[in-house]
């Protein structure tokens, strides 16, 4: 097996290979019999249906950060297609445009352990594979452990999972990414909030410090002001009072916003608000003091003179405090600078160029840098707040101490600003590193692709060096190499150009590197163009030699065919009479056609090659053109010889054609003469005994003559077309007059045949009329006979049974059908009949009319008898129903006989039994009467379909039967009423008897109880008393049962 991985963009191996590895790998052929790969069976529609019904799907995906061509070809969905070596194999569902099919299958150890495992290939067990996994114990394709190429290193970026597993893993991965992103966003948000609040607190502190500084200056200017400057000072203080109010509002808003933030931030904002309230109190106090009188101010000024000495002491104390403040602030500023320096040290590894193997180290350095940045930012913020606080506290110092403090703290703030400026670039360390990594990967990828393209260009250049002038195989290989190199180089150059356009102009280093790659691409393209030019020159030389050889072979073949024309002329030079001129002419035509074809192909071929010669360069092209022109002249000479040969053959063919046509016309004239003799006995309408035989003989002669004339005319037309072709070729001059004479002779024969044909038609018409009239007459006589039979039966028979009526109907139908068929036949013939035949047919039509009229009378009588019979049957059916209902009603009347004795003489059981019998009989009578009424109504509806008197008589009989039913229904109603009354009386009688029985039982119980009275109780013995109790209990039970039943 040869497992090749081509180096094109659509091929896997070349894209995955390093420069030191060749683009094709081979492995030794296993010493085993040729394996047979079981492929999926069934029609495509069945396979598609099986896939749609739940075939397992495997998903091949990559976790690599960059798009590698080797892995990209294998990515996609793979659907189960069958089983190979005991395990399922799969096929990629939708190959990309231009890519071949990809299969994922298992191979057992029959060919050795080096082939045992799972494979990606272009077919199951095919010769081209891309990747292998040696885990042969897995029932399904393993997730990881795939080598790319098949004998290369394991690429853990390539993963294989089932669709369900991929869905679960994707959900877990998405959840993990979302959780990590959420934590990262929370951290960033917390850092951003902290930094934001540090900025906001710093801004508030600075604003308070500025306000405090301005207020202190205004207060100082108010001290010792004379009466003239009081108004100006008051206005200034009022302005400062307004500024303090604005600042208080700002700080209060910030304090409200920070209510849920860090307590330290809230504390700092509260301190600022407290300081502002103190300033506000000082300004109010100062404004109040300005309202005092001038003497008070003078006295105050006098009182201040002796305080100069305490003021000097206060200045010394302030100076000492300032020194302590500056020392503490300097310590915090230096601490912040140290933290910034630590950030620089932690970020130092990030300035070094590194590969992917050092990425964990770099990420750790970024993490430490970010941690140091947060610490440094916190130190700077803390120092700023400390200095701002101290600036606020020095407002109470003496002017000289305050000035010195402001200068010192301003200097320290500038240092903090420098430290902040130095720290700011390190805040984006992670983004800068990722950007540099992406840039580096981009440059490596572009450089790798360009190096691959340069290698392909070098291959193409090397393939052109040792090539000989006639090595066409080498040229094809070089063209393939050139195409491959051009494809890769064009793709790479376009990719580099797109990256140059997309790169930010500020990224000067990246732009320079991309421009260097662009220059390399241009040089490679120039070298590729030189190779293509060299190859084109070689192609021209080889093409010129090949062209001359092909043209010479074609011309030689045409000249060989020209030599055969001389051999074709030999049969015409002989004077033998028995020779086959047709065969000789056909052979000559074949030879001329072959020669013409050979010359045409050769000339066309030469013309095409001359066009190709025009594309050659001046050197070899001019020489080839001269040689080809010489060969073309030889072909033109051969064409002239062919024209001469064709002209001579055309003259011979014209003479032969005229001779054949003359023979055909003479034969036809002889047949027409025979036809004239055969029709002589039919002229003038003579009647002979053997007219039919004479007509048949004349028809036979006419067919023979007609066939001969048609053959002669057809042959004449065919040969006329051939002679016209010969005339157009210049070889048939003088044959037009001869053809005209022959055409006149054929037309004359055709006219003679038409005249003779009219005589034959007249004789045939006479015979045909006799035959047609005989047939129609026989049919008419038969139909008239049947009509007479039917009429005779209808007249002689007055009463007819159903069978007789049915037989009569059949006879009528048969006679009517025959009359109708005969009438139609006569009508059809009358449409085209003429002469005596028309007269005979009209007479027959009159006879048919008379027979139809007679048959109509018979049909009417038969229909009336049929309806009378049906009417009698209807009345009989209803009469049967009525008589049945009368019989049932009579039985119901008989059921009343027991009551004629009187209901009082019957017992209750007999009464109930008699009433039940009456009710049952009444129900049966009601059912019978209903059925009879229904049948009567149905038959009345059917009777309406009869005609005339039959309908009236049948309706009258049915109505009389309906009256009988009405009378029976009235009797049944009276019977039901009597039965209902008797039933009510019987129920009342039975109730009286039951009540009498209850009274008797109760009376008997009372009589028995009398014997058990107090007077008789003392006289009874124990056994007698017990027997008496049992008798009382029995009587009570009987009485109770009687009451319950009642």
* Cα–Cα distance for residue pair 964/248, rounded to 1 Å: 125
Element (H, E) at 119: strand 117-121
Pick from 972, 778, 772, 953: nearest CA to 867: 953
pLDDT score, position 90: 93
CA-based max dimension of the chain: 191
Pick from 642, 555, 636: nearest CA to 601: 555
Angle between helices 618-678 and 691-728 (to 10 degrees): 160
Helix (H, G, I), strand (E, B), or coil: what is residue 952? Answer: helix
Pick from 351, 352, 344: nearest CA to 369: 344
Helix (H, G, I), strand (E, B), or coil: what is residue 118? Answer: strand
* Cα–Cα distance for residue pair 341/344, rounded to 1 Å: 5
Helix (H, G, I), strand (E, B), or coil: what is residue 56? Answer: coil
How do beta strands 158-162 and 117-121 pair? unpaired
Residues 6+ apart with CB under 8 A from 90: 56, 58, 78, 79, 80, 81, 103, 104, 105, 141
* Cα–Cα distance for residue pair 947/868, rounded to 1 Å: 10
**Before 874, cis peptide (omega within 30)?**
no
935: left (phi over 0), alpha (psi -120 to 50) or beta: alpha
Alpha helices in 679-735 (DSSP H): 691-728
Helix (H, G, I), strand (E, B), or coil: what is residue 133? Answer: strand
Residues 6+ apart with CB under 8 A from 922: 892, 972, 975, 976, 979
The edge-to-edge listing of strands for the beta sheet with 87-92 is 129-133, 117-121, 103-107, 87-92, 76-84, 57-62, 158-162
794: left (phi over 0), alpha (psi -120 to 50) or beta: alpha
pLDDT, tens only, 733-786 = 556 677 778 788 888 888 888 888 877 777 777 777 767 677 777 777 888 787
> Based on C-alpha coordinates, what's the Rg of the chain?
68
Tell me how far apart the terminal alpha carbons of the chain are, to the nearest angstrom: 113
In the numeric block, which tokens belong to residue 483?
């195409």
* Cα–Cα distance for residue pair 321/276, rounded to 1 Å: 22
Element (H, E) at 132: strand 129-133
Burial of 918 (0-12, 13-18, 19+ CB in 10 A): buried
pLDDT score, position 106: 93
Residues 6+ apart with CB under 8 A from 406: 213, 391, 394
pLDDT score, position 117: 92
HSE-CB for 274 with a 13 A CA cutoff: 8
Place of tokens 């500056």: 326
pLDDT score, position 9: 31
CB burial string 319-349: b at 16+ within 10 A, e below: eebbeebbeebbebbeebbebbebbbebbeb
* Cα–Cα distance for residue pair 223/290, rounded to 1 Å: 10
CA dihedral over 459, 464, 468, 474, signed as positive or negative? positive
In the numeric block, which tokens belong to residue 555?
């011309």
Write the DSSP assignment of 61-103 as a string of letters: EE--SS--HHHHTT-EEEEEEEEETTEEEEEESSPPTTPPP-E
Element (H, E) at 373: helix 359-393
pLDDT score, position 35: 37
Q: What is the 3-state secondary structure (H, E, C) of 26-50?
A: CCCCCCCCCCCCCCCCCCHHHHHHH
CB-CB neighbours of 980 under 10 Å: 14
Burial of 709 (0-12, 13-18, 19+ CB in 10 A): buried
pTM of this structure: 0.30
Pick from 91, 50, 99: nearest CA to 73: 99
In the numeric block, which tokens belong to residue 491?
């793709």
84: β partners = 87
pLDDT, tens only, 984-1029 = 777 777 777 778 777 787 777 777 777 666 666 666 677 777 787 8
- CA trace torsion 850, 853, 855, 857 (10° rounding): -140
In the numeric block, which tokens belong to residue 632?
């073309």
Q: Please, are residues 92 and 113 in contact by the beta-carbon 8 Å criterion?
A: no
How do beta strands 76-84 and 57-62 pair? antiparallel
* Cα–Cα distance for residue pair 291/336, rounded to 1 Å: 49
- Which residue ranges in the chain fall short of pLDDT 50? 1-52, 293-309, 467-470, 685-686, 688
pLDDT score, position 107: 92
């Amino acid at each position: 097996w040869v497992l090749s991985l081509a180096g094109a963009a659509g091929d896997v191996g070349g894209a995955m290979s390093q420069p030191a590895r060749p683009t094709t790998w081979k492995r030794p052929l296993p010493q085993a019999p040729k394996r047979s790969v079981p492929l999926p069976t069934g029609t495509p529609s069945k396979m598609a249906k099986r896939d749609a019904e739940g075939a397992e799907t495997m998903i091949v995906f990559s976790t690599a950060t960059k798009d590698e061509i080797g892995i990209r070809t294998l990515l996609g969905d793979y659907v189960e297609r069958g089983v190979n070596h005991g395990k399922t194999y799969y096929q990629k569902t939708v190959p990309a445009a231009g890519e071949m099919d990809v299969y994922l299958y298992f191979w057992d150890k029959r060919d050795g352990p080096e082939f045992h495992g799972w494979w990606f290939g272009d077919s199951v067990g095919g010769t081209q594979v891309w990747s292998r996994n040696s885990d042969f114990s897995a029932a399904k394709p393993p997730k990881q452990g795939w080598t790319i190429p098949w004998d290369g290193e394991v690429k853990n970026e390539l993963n294989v999972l089932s669709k369900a597993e991929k869905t679960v893993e994707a959900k877990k991965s998405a959840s993990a990414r979302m959780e990590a992103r959420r934590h990262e966003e929370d951290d960033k948000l917390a850092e951003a909030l902290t930094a934001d609040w540090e900025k906001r607190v710093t801004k508030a502190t600075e604003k308070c410090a500025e306000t405090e500084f301005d207020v202190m200056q205004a207060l100082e200017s108010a001290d010792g002001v004379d009466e003239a400057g009081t108004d100006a000072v008051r206005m200034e203080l009022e302005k400062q009072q307004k500024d303090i109010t604005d600042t208080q509002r700002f700080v209060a808003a910030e304090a409200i916003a920070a209510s849920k933030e860090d307590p330290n931030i809230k504390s700092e904002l509260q301190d600022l608000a407290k300081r502002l309230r103190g300033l506000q109190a000082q300004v109010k106090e100062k404004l109040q003091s300005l309202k005092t009188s001038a003497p008070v101010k003078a006295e105050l000024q006098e009182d201040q003179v002796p305080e100069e000495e305490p003021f000097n002491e206060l200045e010394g104390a302030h100076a000492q405090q300032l020194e302590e403040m500056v020392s503490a602030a300097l310590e915090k500023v230096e601490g912040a600078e140290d933290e910034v320096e630590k950030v620089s040290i932690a970020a130092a590894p990030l300035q070094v160029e590194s590969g992917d193997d050092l990425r964990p180290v770099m990420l750790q350095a970024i993490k430490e840098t970010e941690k140091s940045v947060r610490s440094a930012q916190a130190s700077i913020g803390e120092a700023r707040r400390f200095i701002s606080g101290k600036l606020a506290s020095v407002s109470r110092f003496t002017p000289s101490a305050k000035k010195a403090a402001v200068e010192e703290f301003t200097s320290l703030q500038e240092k903090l600003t420098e430290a902040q400026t130095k720290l700011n670039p390190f805040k984006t360390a992670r983004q800068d590193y990722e950007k540099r990594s992406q840039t580096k990967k981009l440059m490596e990828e572009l450089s790798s692709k360009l190096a691959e393209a340069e290698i392909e260009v070098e291959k193409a250049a090397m393939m052109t060096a040792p090539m000989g002038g006639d090595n066409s195989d080498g040229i094809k290989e070089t063209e393939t190499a050139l195409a491959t190199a051009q494809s890769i180089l064009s793709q790479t150059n376009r990719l580099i150009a797109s990256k140059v356009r997309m790169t930010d102009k500020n990224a000067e280093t990246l732009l320079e590197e991309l421009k260097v790659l662009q220059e390399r691409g241009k040089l490679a393209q120039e070298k590729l163009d030189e190779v293509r030019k060299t190859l084109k020159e070689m192609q021209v030389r080889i093409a010129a030699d090949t062209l001359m050889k092909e043209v010479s072979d074609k011309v030689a073949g045409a000249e060989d065919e020209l030599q055969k024309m001389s051999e074709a002329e030999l049969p015409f030079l002989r004077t033998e009479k028995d020779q086959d001129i047709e065969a000789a002419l056909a052979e000559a035509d074949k030879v001329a056609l072959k020669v013409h074809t050979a010359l045409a192909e050769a000339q066309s071929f030469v013309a095409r090659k001359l066009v190709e010669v025009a594309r050659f360069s001046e050197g070899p092209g001019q020489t080839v053109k001269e040689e080809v022109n010489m060969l073309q002249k030889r072909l033109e000479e051969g064409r002239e010889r062919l024209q001469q040969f064709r002209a001579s053959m055309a003259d011979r063919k014209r003479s032969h054609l005229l001779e054949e046509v003359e023979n055909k016309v003479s034969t036809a004239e002889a047949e027409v003469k025979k036809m004239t003799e055969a029709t002589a006995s039919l002229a003038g309408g003579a009647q002979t005994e053997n007219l039919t035989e004479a007509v048949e003989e004349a028809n036979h002669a006419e067919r023979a003559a007609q066939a001969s004339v048609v053959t002669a005319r057809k042959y004449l037309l065919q040969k006329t077309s051939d002679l016209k072709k010969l005339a157009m070729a210049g070889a048939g001059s003088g044959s037009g007059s001869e053809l005209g004479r022959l055409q006149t002779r054929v037309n004359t024969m055709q006219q003679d045949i038409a005249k003779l044909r009219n005589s034959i038609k007249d004789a045939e018409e006479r015979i045909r009329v006799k035959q047609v009239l005989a047939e129609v007459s026989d049919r008419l006589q038969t139909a008239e006979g049947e009509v007479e039979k039917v009429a005779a039966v209808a007249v002689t028979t007055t009463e007819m049974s159903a069978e007789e009526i049915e037989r009569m109907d059949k006879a009528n139908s048969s006679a009517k059908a025959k009359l109708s068929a005969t009438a139609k036949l006569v009508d059809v013939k009358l449409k085209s009949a003429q002469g005596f035949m028309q007269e005979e047919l009209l007479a027959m039509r009159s006879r048919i009319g008379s027979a139809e009229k007679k048959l109509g009378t018979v049909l009417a009588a038969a229909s009336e008898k049929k309806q009378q019979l049906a009417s009698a049957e209807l009345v009989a059916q209803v009469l049967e129903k009525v008589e049945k209902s009368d019989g049932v009603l009579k039985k119901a009347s008989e059921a009343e006989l027991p009551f004629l004795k009187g209901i009082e003489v019957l017992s209750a059981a007999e009464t109930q039994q008699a009433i039940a019998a009456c009710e049952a009989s009444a129900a049966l009578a009601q059912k019978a009467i209903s059925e009879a009424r229904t049948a009567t109504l149905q038959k009345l509806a059917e009777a309406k379909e009869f005609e005339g008197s039959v309908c009236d008589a049948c309706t009258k009989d049915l109505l009389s039967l309906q009256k009988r039913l009405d009378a029976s229904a009235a009797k049944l109603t009276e019977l039901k009423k009597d039965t209902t009354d008797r039933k009510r009386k019987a129920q009342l009688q039975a109730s009286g008897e039951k009540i009498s029985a209850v009274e008797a039982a109760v009376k008997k119980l009372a009589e028995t109880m009398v014997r058990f009275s107090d007077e008789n109780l003392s006289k009874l013995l124990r056994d007698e008393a017990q027997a008496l109790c049992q008798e009382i209990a029995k009587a009570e039970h009987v009485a109770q049962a009687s009451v319950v039943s009642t």
